[in-house]
Amino acid sequence: MTLHLPSGPALALGAASASYQIEGATAEDGRGVSIWDTFSLVPGATKDGKDGSVACDSYHRYQDDVDLVADLGADLYRFSVAWPRIIPTGVGSVEERGLAYYDRLVDALLARGVTPTGTFYHWDLPQALEDKGGWLDRDTAYAFADYAMVVHERLGDRVKVWATHNEPWCAAYLGYAAAVHAPGRREGGEAHRAAHHLLLGHGLAAERLHAAGSQDVGIVLNLAPIWPEPGLPPEAADGIDAIRNRVWLGPLVDGAYDAGLLRVAPVLADPELVREGDLDLIRGSADWMGVNYYTPVRPGPVEPTPAGDVRHPETDAYPGAEPVTFVVREPRTDIGWEVDAYGLEELLLETYKRTGLPLMVTENGAAYADDVVADVPGVGRCVQDEDRRAYLEDHIAATERARQAGADIRGYIVWTLLDNFEWAEGYTKYFGIVHVDPQTQERTPKASYRWLQERLRG
């Protein structure tokens, strides 16, 4: 039984953000260095060579963000806490000024009637921990649980709904196998160790949070519907599904890594890695689950490669799985992701069937170029993002359909409030319902924001 997840008759709506993508002020008030500060400096790591050192300057302008969320009429605001602001070197001494920032943010949200929901880890690992092995090292899981408890002790009286991790698939496989996210390592199948340690960190934190009285501890996963293309051998599709979806759901629901997963990730059978008690700790540890969805995954057969070359770069993020190509059909958003709202409906129904847990769509949204700007009477000049509005409308409808079909879905949270630092894409892809001028930091709601506001006003 969760206590504080939205439970009204209507789907709760909100907007999301993540610390490194919006805060800036990376060298202020004692904040330590994160792996994204380091990684962004590597030539070629981000498309425009930029980093999050300024971003949307939300560290100073959080009140503007809160006003935008409140004026939208949103029920929820999903934010993440930057670990290096709280414990600059990952373990040990706590930075009071970092905690004070989130105090101010949370109080500002509550003062305007918006429910804050927090995420402890949205990818900004303290660099000092990466220097000791990062998520490949078991100690990082224990450090994570300690950090989560520090945050919860301070904010838990006001923030009741927490997620431990955001998209651990990205943290493990984009970070430690495909090298497109921080820390930018290419460790192949070793990345499965990172996956296990992320799950262990979740389990350790959940156990202690529950002991401290929290009943709304979740985890946010970017699960995906896997739709194989004709001609793909079944085991190739199974390998993708195993590493994208089952590596998380197996331990969380059954307390086990399944045989199909162990076929592609044999290291997960190593008793030195998966120690006695780990899986018992993880099983049943989530009170709710967040689903982030943007696009379906369509693995297809690989084109013939020169003799001997069995590696396919698109499969780097799925170490151990048979090589595939990922087919992307039309229509696509500006980041090249296929638009298919039915994928969300199917995913929610399947995830509910599999887990039985209350769900929230913790992220969904679309990148578009935002090149249509018009003067709107009574509003002024703003981006006319009809494409984004349609995407949101269709995906909210898909969420409602899954709900009517019986899935226990409590909320839908748009990614994202502000145009921001889009990881490896730098500042070249815009997901915001609010435009941000990179020079002046002026925030201007787009047509999609106005549409959502009308909808929320009923």
Tell me if 39 contacts ligand FCB by CB under 6 A: no
Q: Does the protein bind ligand FCB through residue 370 (CB under 6 A)?
A: no
Q: Is 166 one of the binding residues for ligand FCB (CB under 6 A)?
A: yes
Catalytic residue among 23, 95, 130, 167: 167
In the complex with ligand FCB, which residue's Cβ is closer, 333 or 355?
Answer: 333
The CB-of-376 to ligand FCB minimum distance in angstroms stands at 27
The binder of ligand FCB chosen from 363, 370, 385, 419 (CB under 6 A): 363
Number of chain residues interacting with ligand FCB (CB under 6 A): 12
Is 167 part of the annotated catalytic residue set? yes
β 325-326/299-300 pair status: antiparallel
Cβ closer to ligand FCB: 181 or 197? Answer: 181
Query: Which of 37, 124, 167, 385 touches ligand FCB by CB under 6 A?
Result: 167
Restricting to residues 169-198, which ones interact with ligand FCB according to CB under 6 A? 170
18 is a site residue for ligand FCB (CB under 6 A): yes
- Of 88 and 168, which CB lies nearer to ligand FCB in the complex structure? 168
Decide if residue 431 touches ligand FCB (CB under 6 A).
Answer: yes
Q: Examine residue 331 and say whether the peptide bond preceding it is cis (omega within 30 degrees of 0).
A: yes
Binding-site member from 58, 115, 222, 351 for ligand FCB (CB under 6 A): 222
Q: CB of residue 212 vs ligand FCB: minimum separation in angstroms?
A: 26
In the bound complex, what is the minimum distance in angstroms from residue 191's beta carbon to ligand FCB? 17
Cβ 77 to ligand FCB shortest distance, Å: 15
Our CB check for ligand FCB shows the closer of 170 and 436 to be: 170
Minimum distance, C-beta of residue 179 to ligand FCB, in the bound complex (Å): 16
423 is a contact residue toward ligand FCB (CB under 6 A)? yes
Taking CB under 6 A as the rule, does residue 117 contact ligand FCB? no
The verdict on 415 binding ligand FCB (CB under 6 A) reads: yes
23 near ligand FCB, rule: CB under 6 A: no
Q: How far is the CB of 166 from ligand FCB (least distance, A)?
A: 5
Nearest CA-CA partner of 129 in 141, 145, 120, 118: 141
The smaller minimum CB distance to ligand FCB, of residues 101 and 423, is found at 423
Contact present, 68 and 445 (Cβ < 8 Å):
yes
- Give the dihedral of Cα atoms 77, 82, 87, 88; nearest 10 deg: -150
Unique residue bearing structure tokens 């090589």: 323
The smaller minimum CB distance to ligand FCB, of residues 167 and 345, is found at: 167
Q: Which is nearer to ligand FCB, 124 or 241 (CB)?
A: 124
CA distances from 28 to 62, 129, 314, 315, 439 (A): 15, 20, 38, 39, 20
Catalytic residue among 95, 338, 363, 422: 363
CB burial of residue 440 (10 Å; 0-12, 13-18, 19+) = exposed
CA angle 361, 363, 365 (to 5 degrees): 115
Q: How far is the CB of 163 from ligand FCB (least distance, A)?
A: 11
Contact window for ligand FCB (CB under 6 A) among 31-39, 99-107, 133-141, 415-423: 415-423
Q: What's the min distance (Å) between Cβ of 167 and ligand FCB?
A: 5
Q: At what angle do helices 96-111 and 58-72 cross, to 10 degrees?
A: 20
Rg (CA), the chain: 21
Does residue 149 belong to the site contacting ligand FCB (CB under 6 A)? no
d(CA 182, CA 42): 10
- C-beta closer to ligand FCB: residue 95 or 422: 422
Enumerate binding residues for ligand FCB (CB under 6 A): 18, 21, 166-167, 170, 222, 292, 363, 415, 422-423, 431
Q: Which residues are catalytic?
A: 167, 363
